[in-house]
Amino acid sequence: MPQDYLTSLPAELFDYIRDLVIAGKPKQLVEALAASPGAASHVNYLTLRLPETAFSSEAAAPVLRMAILHLRNVRQISITGAGELSKMLLSPTSPKTLPALTQLSISGGLKGWITPFLPRHYHTLRYYRRLSFDCATILPLLAHELPHLTNLELEANESLKSQHLLRILSGPEKIVKLHTLSLSTSYGSRPPVHASLEPEGLFEVVELAKQEKVKNTFQTALLLLAGPAEQPTMPKDYLTSLPPELFDYIRDLVVTAKPKQYLGGISKAFLPSTRDRAFRGVCAFTESAATKLLEALAASPGAASHVNYLTLRLPETAFSSEAVAPMLRTAILHLRQVQYVDVGGAGELAKMLLSPTSPAALPALVCLTICSSLEGWTAPSSPTHHRNLGDYRQLSSLELVIQRDAQGLGARIPRPAEQIPMSPTFRSLSLGGVAIETSKAGYLAEAFRPKEFWLVGTQESSSPMSPRLRRLPPSVEHLGLVQEASRLEGISAVLPNLRQIKTLSLNSSFDCATILPLLAHELPHLTDLGLGANESLTSQHLLRTLSGPEKIVKLQILSLSHSFGSRPSVHASLEPEALIEVVELAEQEKVEVSGIRFWEAIEAKKARDARLEEEQEKRRAIVRALAALEI
C-alpha cells in the first residue's frame, strides 16, 4: 500500500483505523499501560473484545493490576471476555483504583466464580466513587436480594439491554412478585443507549410483559427512545474500493461501536461479510425467540457454522413437543463451530445435548453447561444417559446442575459405575443441584474420571459433602467444594481417600480449624490451596500451613477469598492489616498468595510501608536539622 494511503483518508476514518490497530493488540496495549503511567494517564475510554481465556495465566495478573492502577483518568471501560481481567474490575482491591471511572460494562463467563451473581463479588465496587448505576450487574441480583419487589423503575443507559429486561420477566432471574416495570430516558448527559432499547427492540419485552401479566409503561419509552437521525452513508463504491484487510478493520469497528442491524444502513457493502460477526454469539431467553433462532440455524447451515457461543435460558417445558424434535436435531448438527453451549431449562434439548446420537454432532464443543430437571430420565445421575458424551471430541468441561426434588432421583445405580470413554481433551466435571445431594455424584465422577472435579451445594442442601468423596476416582487431581449449609462441616474422615489431590478449594461451610492441620500429612502432593473465609478460620491457621509442623511442604499457591452465600462475620485476624504477617511469611516461603482478601492485605502492606517510610524520613530530617544546629 502507498505510504501516504492512510494519511490521505478523512480524519475520522483515520482515527477509526488507528483505534482498531490498538484494539487488535490487547497484550501489548496492557503491557504498555503497566509500563508507562504517563501514557496510561491519557486514556479516557478503554474497550477490549477478547476470548474468555485472555490474560488467564498467573504471570499476567501483576501486569493487569499495575495497568489498572495507572488508569487514573479513564472514564469508560467496556470488556467482553477476558474473565480474569473482568473479575479484577468487578472486585477492585483499593479505593484508589480508577478514580475517574463513570461507566463499566462487563460481558463474559467470569470463569472461576462458581456463583457469579452473589453480591459478595461486587461489594468493593463502592471504591469507584463516580461510577454510574450498572444495570447489567444490578438486575440479576434483584430476584434473590429483593424478594418483595413489585415495582421497578429504570432509566435507560448504556449498560442496559433488552435482554436484561427479558431475564427479570422470565427464567432464573425472574422477579416473581413484579407488577409494574417502567423504563424512561436518563437524566443528564449519557452516551447513546443500546440499540435493543430502540422501539423495535423493545417489542419482545412488551409481549413478554403481557404474558407475565406485568404492567409496563413502555409506550412513553417508545416515543422517548426514538433514536438519533440517520447518519449519512458513504458512496456505494467507497468501501468496496478499499483493500480487503482495511475493509475488515472498518467493519469490525462498526460492529463494535454500532448495532449490527445498522450495518446495511451505513453501506450495503458490509452485508456479505457480517454474518460471521452477527452469529458469533447468540442467545435467547424466551421460547418464542429460541424457536425462531434454532429454526434459522436448522434452515441455514451457513449461518449456523458461524456460531461460537450459544446461550439459552428457557422454561423447563420448552421444546417439549415431539414436532420440534427434528428441527432441534438438525440445528445441533449444523452447529459445526460452536465451542460454548449453556442451556438452562428446556429439558428435551438438554437431554439431546447430554445424549448425542451422532458422532458428527458439535465437533468443536469445548464447554457444555446444563441446568435442568431432565424430566423423563428416571435416574438422571446414571452414566447410562451420558455414555455418548465421548463423541464430543474437543469437550474439556461439563457442568451439570440437576434441578429436581430428591424424590425424583430414581432407583439405586448398580456398582461398578459404567466407564464413559471421554476424549483426551476432557478435564473438568462440575455437579450441582440434586445430583450431588447423595453419593450418586460419585457414580458420575467414576464414570467420567475427570482431572478437575467440582461439587457445588446450596443453602437448601441438607446432606454433608463427605459421603460423596468416599470413592473419588484416582484421576481427580483438582478438587473444588462449595457448600452453603448453615452448619460447618469437617471432611477429615475422607481425607485419606484424597491423597492424590494437588489442588484443593474449600468455600463457605467447611471447618477449616479441623481440616487444615491434617492437610500436610493427608495430602502430600498438595500444591494449590484455596479457602473461603468463614468463622472457623484465623490467620494462625494460615501461618501454620506455611511454617512449623503443619507446614504443607509442596504448597505453591495459597488463596483466600470471601465465602459464597451468607456466613457469620469472619475472625478479626482475617482483616487486611492482620493478614500482612501471613503475606510476609508467604514471601519468605516463596508461596504465591491470591484472592481478594490477600490482595487487600497486600494493599494494606504497601500503605503501611509507605507510612513507615514517611515517618522514617521525618526522623531523618529531624536528625539532619539537629546536626546543622550543632555545626
Pair 325, 194 in one domain: no
Give the least confident one: 119-133, 192-206, 268-282, 421-435.
119-133
Same domain assignment for residues 111 and 145: no
Overall size of the chain counted in residues: 631
b/e for 493-524, b at 16 or more Cβ within 10 A? ebbebbeebbbbbbbbbbbbbebbbebbebbe
Instruction: Tell me how far CA of residue 337 lies from CA of 276, 332, 406, in angstroms.
Output: 11, 11, 37
Give me the pLDDT at residue 364, please: 92
pLDDT bracket for residue 109 (50, 70, 90): low
| Domain presence at residue 265 | no
pLDDT at residue 84 tops 70: yes
Final residue belonging to a domain, choices 95, 114, 131: 131
* 177 and 121 belong to one structural domain: no
Q: What is the dihedral sign for C-alpha 465, 411, 319, 428?
A: positive
d(C-alpha 92, C-alpha 185), whole Å: 29
Choice between 171 and 229, residue whose per-residue pLDDT is larger: 171
Query: Which residue's entry shows cell 502492606?
Result: 605
Which residues fall within 8 angstroms of residue 590, CB to CB, at 6 or more apart?
Answer: none
- Report the C-alpha gap between 147 and 484 in whole angstroms: 19
Closest CA to 510 of 576, 554, 547, 466: 466
Calculate mean pLDDT across residues 490-497. Answer: 88
Q: Is residue 31 one of the residues assigned to a domain?
A: yes
Asked if residue 445 belongs to a domain, the reply is: yes
Question: By mean pLDDT, which of 147-151, 216-220, 235-239 is the weakest?
Answer: 216-220
pLDDT for the residue numbered 220:
32
Instruction: State the pLDDT at residue 235.
Output: 46
Which residue has better confidence, 501 or 164?
501
Number of domains in the chain: 4
240: left (phi over 0), alpha (psi -120 to 50) or beta: alpha
500, 516 in Cβ contact below 8 A?
no
- Label residue 366 by pLDDT band (50, 70, 90): very high
In the sheet that holds 103-107, the strands lie side by side as 45-49, 76-80, 103-107
Nearest to 180 by CA among 167, 193, 169: 169
Q: Is residue 457 part of a domain?
A: no
Average pLDDT on 56-85 reads: 81
Regarding whether 145 and 116 lie in a shared domain, the answer is no
Share of the chain above pLDDT 90, in %: 21
Q: What percent of the chain has pLDDT over 70?
A: 75
pLDDT at position 328 is 92
- How far is it between the farthest Cα atoms of the chain? 101
Among residues 557, 495, 551, the alpha carbon closest in space to that of 531 is found at: 557
Q: Is residue 25 part of a domain?
A: yes
Which range, of 242-251, 327-336, 367-376, 521-530, averages the lowest pLDDT? 242-251
300/420 same-domain check: yes
612 within some domain: yes
pLDDT of residue 472: 83
- 517 with 565, same domain: the answer is yes
Residue 227 has pLDDT above 70, yes or no: no
Report pLDDT digits (tens) over 543-601: 999 999 999 999 999 999 877 655 567 788 888 899 999 999 999 999 999 888 898 89
CA terminus-to-terminus distance, the chain: 73
Question: Residue 48: its pLDDT value, please?
Answer: 80
> How much is the pLDDT for 230?
34
Cell representation of residue 159: 449498560
Strands 528-533 and 557-562: parallel
Say whether both 386 and 327 belong to one domain: yes
What confidence score (pLDDT) does residue 3 get?
Answer: 47
Task: Name the more confident of 148 and 278.
Answer: 148
Query: Comparing C-alpha atoms, which of 487, 446, 502 is closest to residue 469?
Result: 446
On whether residue 249 sits in a domain, the answer given is no
- Lowest-pLDDT range, 59-63, 123-127, 408-412, 576-580? 408-412
The CATH number given to whatever domain includes residue 520 is 3.80.10
State how beta strands 397-402 and 151-156 pair: unpaired
pLDDT (mean) for 313-338:
91
Q: Detail the DSSP E strand segments found in 339-462.
A: 340-344, 367-372, 397-402, 428-433, 452-456
Together in a domain, 10 and 70:
yes
Residue pair 422/451 in contact (Cβ under 8 Å)? The answer is no
Mean per-residue pLDDT of the chain:
78
CB-based contacts of 353, cutoff 8 Å, min separation 6 = 332, 341, 343, 362, 368, 370
Give pLDDT, residue 435: 59
The predicted pLDDT at position 19 comes to 55
Same domain as 119, residue 176? no
Q: Looking at 228, 244, 260, which one is the last position of a domain?
A: 228
**What letter represents residue 60's amino acid?**
A
Judge if 9 and 103 occupy the same domain: yes
Average of pLDDT values for 319-327?
90
- SS3 labels along 472-515: CCCCCCEEEEEECCCCCECCHHHHHHHCCCCEEEEEECECHHHH
CA distances from 484 to 500, 534, 567 (A): 26, 11, 8
Domain identity same for 488 and 630:
yes
Q: In what order do the strands lie in the sheet with 428-433?
A: 281-284, 309-313, 340-344, 367-372, 397-402, 428-433, 452-456, 478-483, 503-508, 528-533, 557-562, 592-594
Q: What is the pLDDT of residue 476?
A: 92
For residue 386, give the nearest of 444, 341, 440 by alpha carbon. Answer: 444
The larger pLDDT score, comparing residue 166 to residue 378, is at: 166
Q: Alpha-carbon dihedral of residues 41, 45, 49, 51, nearest 10 degrees? A: 30
Can you name the residues that pair with 482 across neighbouring β-strands?
456, 507
**548: alpha, beta or left, given left = phi > 0 and alpha = psi -120 to 50?**
left
Q: Classify the phi-psi angles of 602: left when phi > 0, otherwise alpha if psi is within -120 to 50, otherwise beta.
A: alpha
Same domain flag for 317 and 392: yes
Q: Give the confidence band of 447 by pLDDT, cuts at 50, 70, 90.
A: confident
Instruction: Provide the pLDDT confidence category of residue 187 given band limits of 50, 70 and 90.
Output: very low
Give me the pLDDT at residue 226, please: 27
Residue 626: CA atoms inside 13 Å, Cβ hemisphere, count? Answer: 6
Average pLDDT rounded to a whole number, residues 44-61: 79
540 pLDDT more than 90: yes
Structure confidence at residue 234 (pLDDT): 43
Tell me what the mean pLDDT of segment 471-479 comes to.
Answer: 89
The pLDDT value given to residue 130: 52
Residue ending a domain, choose from 131, 146, 172: 131
Residue 500 lies in a domain: yes
Specify which of 440-444, 474-478, 566-570 reaches the highest per-range mean pLDDT: 474-478
Segment 413-428 mean pLDDT:
79
Mean pLDDT on 6-15: 58
What's the rounded mean pLDDT across residues 329-348?
A: 91
Domain of 545, in residue numbers: 475-631
Between CA 316 and CA 566 the distance in angstroms is 28
Cell numbers linked to 503: 489442588
